[in-house]
Amino acid sequence: MLFTLTYEPDEDVDATVLGYLLHKHPAKVQTFSAPVGDIHVFYPEATAERTTAAVLVEVDPVGLVRNKRFRGDAGALDHYVNDRPYVASSMLAVAIGTVFRTAMTGRSDSYPELAESPLPLRIDVPVVSTRGEEDDLVRRMFEPCGWDVVEQSIPLDPAHPDWGDSRYSSVTLSGRVRLADALRQLYVLLPVLDDTKHYWVGDDEISKLERAGEGWLADHPERELITRRYLVHQRSLLAQTADEDDAVRETPLRVHRADAVMQALRDAGAHRVVDMGCGPGALLSRLASDRSFTKIVGVDVSARSLERAARMLRLDAASDAERERIELLHGSVVYRDDRLRGYDAMVLMEVIEHVEPPRLRALEDAVFAGADPASVIVTTPNAEYNALYPTLGSGGHRHDDHRFEWTREQFRGWADAVASRHGYTVEYRPIGEEDAVLGSPTQLALFRREVAA
């Protein structure tokens, strides 16, 4: 199972920067172990004019049968004789998420402008399968994303052309697409083309689709078909994504989380709020609609996310007073920023787990000492609850870019120590439906600065 990604700049740029953007060195062959098999990343060519990265997945079909984690595949010829080792599928998508998880977020400390810009890319997938009765599926999936598509049918047997073509084809995609978007599109659309998954699909698959589809799926003309196939036609999951079916849709965890943060802000009496790591503006839009918040600042390291937040908040059409009330700043949670000092509250909603553990002390200094807000609200996943997610392996994380996930004890240990060092008290609150043993899916800490007697 293979795919290659080629970067051939049309400007005065050294193509080997692809290694920095993918966070994989062109001079090395790297091998990663995953439940689907061994994943090899290497560069067949790496010159200043053109650089190609390749991902090769060695799938053991016998091992898949013996591993109870994997569910049966209706498209397989047999448990032990099947097309899984060579056809691009959910296994290749898992491999992409495993080896390129940082690149999929669009983060590059060395070349941030290139990471945020559309690049001239070519992707080659030697074998894809388009199951079902859908016509011209590859083109319908990729052309709306900005790709030129070349699809070549693969004959059943080149020695016997009269036998006709197989249901497999090779695909080449070329276009100017942001690298993170290209990887996330492959992550979603390869399983969609194959119309099956090698693992059991649970509720968390919806959040995976939302994260990987951010920025391109909402406006895709085949969004319904993509969603249906990505969720392997499970009615219970599709009901949760249907806008018109609110009566049967459960409240997503992200809504519970935002509700809990808003309540914590009200309990803290905050009116001037910083949303650190605001992303495209999900929490900012809630804050903006509540007039009790008189000053709102969104901060993110990604300029693209800030642009999307500005569009969501319609700042271009806002009044002068509203643009004074809402401010978007480029910044990082691990560096002191005098612009953020002295606010009523700072929110880190699902931010801390994206920071490398050695940099947590820098985060602590920037937030609690540098910004010194009256209150700090931190939410983060509860790692114990992950046992209830069937698609997460042992020690797996809920998001490809999470650097760690804490148990309740670990979170409290960190928060208690931070509060003690900086003169805060801390209160803990669960978010989401609680399990009697494993706790809630998300945990919240509300820090309040101690008032001198």
**Tens of pLDDT along 177-187?**
999 999 999 99
Closest CA to 338 of 369, 316, 298, 303: 369
Q: What is the pLDDT of residues 193-204, one digit of tens each?
A: 887 765 555 556
Q: Which of 277-281, 324-328, 371-375, 388-392 has the lowest mean pLDDT?
A: 388-392
- Angstrom distance (rounded) from CA 405 to CA 396: 9
Length in residues, the chain: 453
Cα–Cα distances in angstroms (integers) from residue 420 to residues 7, 283, 346, in the given order: 50, 28, 18
In this structure, what token pair is assigned to residue 99? 């080896």
Residue 344's CB: how many other CB atoms inside 10 A? 18
**What is the rounded average pLDDT of the residues 362-387?**
95
Q: How far apart are the first and last CA of the chain?
A: 67
Percent of the chain with pLDDT over 70: 85
Closest CA to 359 of 403, 398, 396: 403
DSSP bridge pairs for 268:
none
Q: Which of 68-82, 198-212, 361-375 has the lowest mean pLDDT?
A: 68-82
- Give every strand in the sheet of 375-381, ordered side by side: 326-330, 295-300, 272-276, 345-349, 375-381, 442-449, 424-431
> 205: phi > 0 → left, psi -120 to 50 → alpha, else beta; which?
alpha
Read off the amino acid at residue 335.
Y
- Contacts for 130 with CB less than 8 Å, ≥ 6 apart: 137, 138, 167, 169, 193
**What is the rounded average pLDDT of the residues 306-322?**
88
| Strand ranges, E, within 8-91 | 30-34, 37-46, 51-58
**DSSP per-residue string spanning 282-315:** HHHHHHHH-TT--EEEEEES-HHHHHHHHHHHTG
Q: What is the mean pLDDT of the chain?
A: 86
Q: Which of 79-93, 126-140, 281-295 has the lowest mean pLDDT?
A: 79-93
Which pLDDT belongs to residue 201? Answer: 56
**What is the rounded average pLDDT of the residues 225-230?**
85
Q: Which of 159-168, 256-265, 325-334 has the lowest mean pLDDT?
A: 159-168
Reported confidence tier of residue 72, pLDDT bands at 50, 70, 90: very low
pTM of the predicted model, to two decimals? 0.53
Residue 441, pLDDT > 90, answer yes
Q: Are strands 345-349 and 375-381 parallel, antiparallel or unpaired?
A: parallel
- Angstrom distance (rounded) from CA 165 to CA 181: 32
- Angstrom distance (rounded) from CA 118 to CA 182: 10
